[in-house]
């Protein structure tokens, strides 16, 4: 699911020490194994973590705790690790 432009300067989203919650709709998935964030602008952004909940999946938390680079998708892809662990069973 791609969600463009989640920030809103009037609602104070992505402020330091805050928790922001969004409801996104997209195709049904049974496993969430990757998440990428994109930052564009002059101010920095250092999210501690992002937790994704789904109807048919367990929640998964991606721990960033680092500055997101400007103008580049940055994140984690655990999809191959998840399929590797299943094939090892």
Tell me the per-residue pLDDT of 25-57, one tens digit each, with 9 for 90 and over: 777 767 788 889 888 888 788 888 888 887 777
Query: Number of structural domains, the chain?
Result: 1
17 within some domain: no
Whether residue 83 is contained in a domain is answered as no
Which has more pLDDT, 71 or 10?
71
Which of 52, 49, 48, 60 minimizes the C-alpha distance to 24?
Answer: 52
DSSP state, residue 55:
S
Write down how long the chain is. 89
Residue 39 covered by a domain: yes
Q: Which of 50-54, 56-60, 81-85 has the lowest mean pLDDT?
A: 81-85
| Residue 56 lies in domain | 34-77
């Amino acid at each position: 699911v791609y969600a463009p432009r989640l920030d809103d300067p009037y609602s104070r989203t992505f402020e330091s020490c805050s928790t922001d919650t969004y409801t996104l709709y997209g195709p049904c998935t049974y496993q969430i194994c990757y998440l990428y964030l994109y930052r564009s602008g002059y101010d920095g952004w250092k999210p501690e973590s992002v937790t994704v909940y789904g109807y048919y999946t367990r929640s998964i938390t991606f721990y960033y705790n680092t500055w997101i680079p400007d103008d580049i998708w940055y994140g984690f892809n655990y999809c191959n690790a998840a399929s590797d662990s299943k094939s090892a069973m």
